[in-house]
Amino acid sequence: MKKTAIIFLLLTFMTVGLWASGDQEAKSEKKGNTIFIITPSHDNPFFKTEAVAADDEATKMGYATTVLSHDDDANLQDQQFDTAIAAGALAIIVDNAGADATIGPVRRAKEAGIPSFLIDREINETGLAVSQIVSNNYQGAVIGAEKFVELMGEKGKFVELVGKESDTNAGIRSKGYHEILDQYPALEMVARQSANWSQTEAYEKMESILQANPDIKGVICGNDTMAMGAMAALKAAGMGDVIVVGFDGSNDVRDSILAGDIKATVLQTCAYNARLAVQQADKYIKTGSTGAPEKQLTDCVLIDSSNAEKLDNFVLEQ
């Protein structure tokens, strides 16, 4: 009886193993040769740059690509992940639509055997995405704030425009700014408002803030599009000499710096990060590992009048 029971158990394990193997093969058979690239709106040059960089890198490696924009709409992003899963994508490169809202889609993709590689924005959970490659937003905010303090002469009233509150980066950048700014008691923050990363909202918020605070000396912004909106509102009010500092390193702000309007920004190497994500996806597809930790930070670079000429499409010429 004992021998019979052992044989039965061995047959059972072998059968389960064959089922598991067969399931894996079924998943593999469903997969095509496509990498999905999902980002926020390409109307923002930052997101367009990372989408184009990822697309170029994947195409160069011989993959087909599907490039989509979720417009920061978590529901639309959900649908796009489902499309990628149904299509049997090889991998998903995503600049996500929310640190919490993206946990579910990334988990569904993982359960379907499709690895996700996050760029620019993290999610509030580890162990689901293969890579989370983001700029060192805290380090970037610190060097941006140090430049702002220098430009302000360590004193005066200022305004802070922050990004979308649900976005992890908005909080990290603001925290990095205040790590420096709060050390200077003669710097007085008279308003802190979210413009949701939007140039239009920044213009409107700035118009409103100026009515109550016509004597501000500086504006520090969580991204470049808000900096452009703030600068436009200041110039419309005849206050183009107010110090404005942004964050991203866009060509628009580069040109503004060279024109003497916006004074500085912080470059995020988004094109590099997007290419790196595709390279890691390729390695993972071929070997099952990236050889790198899930959380990866890339340092930011201060851009001002001394080096703005060397900046083009989020790449600083060395």
Identify the pLDDT of residue 31: 64
Q: pLDDT, tens digit, for every residue of 241-267?
A: 999 999 999 999 999 999 999 999 999
Q: Alpha helices, DSSP H only, in 158-299?
A: 168-181, 199-212, 224-236, 251-258, 270-287
Q: How confident is the model at residue 64 (pLDDT cuts 50, 70, 90)?
A: very high
**Residue 240: enclosing H or E segment and its boundaries?**
none
Helix, strand, coil share of the chain (percent; to 5): 50, 20, 30
Q: How far apart are CA 79 and CA 272, in angstroms?
A: 27
Q: How confident is the model at residue 2 (pLDDT cuts 50, 70, 90)?
A: very low
Share of the chain above pLDDT 70, in %: 90
Average predicted confidence (pLDDT) for the chain: 90
User: For the residues 154-179, what does the mean pLDDT come to?
Assistant: 94
Q: How confident is the model at residue 165 (pLDDT cuts 50, 70, 90)?
A: confident
Q: Which among 188, 253, 259 has a CA at the least distance from the CA of 222?
A: 253
Q: Which among 232, 137, 228 has a CA at the least distance from the CA of 175?
A: 137
Mean pLDDT is lowest, of 26-30, 90-94, 195-199, for 26-30
- Contact between 137 and 176 (Cβ < 8 Å): yes
Q: pLDDT, tens digit, for every residue of 131-157?
A: 999 999 999 999 999 999 999 999 999
Identify the pLDDT of residue 168: 82
pLDDT higher than 50, residue 274: yes
- Contact between 237 and 210 (Cβ < 8 Å): yes
pLDDT higher than 90, residue 219: yes
User: For the residues 220-226, what does the mean pLDDT come to?
Assistant: 96
Identify the pLDDT of residue 301: 96
* Residues 6 or more apart whose Cβ sits within 8 Å of residue 181: 145, 148, 149, 158, 187, 189, 220
Q: Hey, which bits of 120-184 come out as E strands?
A: 131-135, 156-162
Q: How far apart are CA 159 and CA 291, in angstroms?
A: 43
Q: pLDDT, tens digit, for every residue of 186-201?
A: 999 999 999 999 999 9
Tell which wins on pLDDT, 145 or 1.
145
* Residues 6 or more apart whose Cβ sits within 8 Å of residue 138: 172, 173, 175, 176, 179
Neighbours of 7 (CB within 10 A): 10
pLDDT higher than 50, residue 20: no
Both tokens of residue 116? 């996700």
Mean pLDDT is lowest, of 10-19, 79-88, 127-136, 283-292, for 10-19
User: For the residues 163-192, what does the mean pLDDT come to?
Assistant: 94
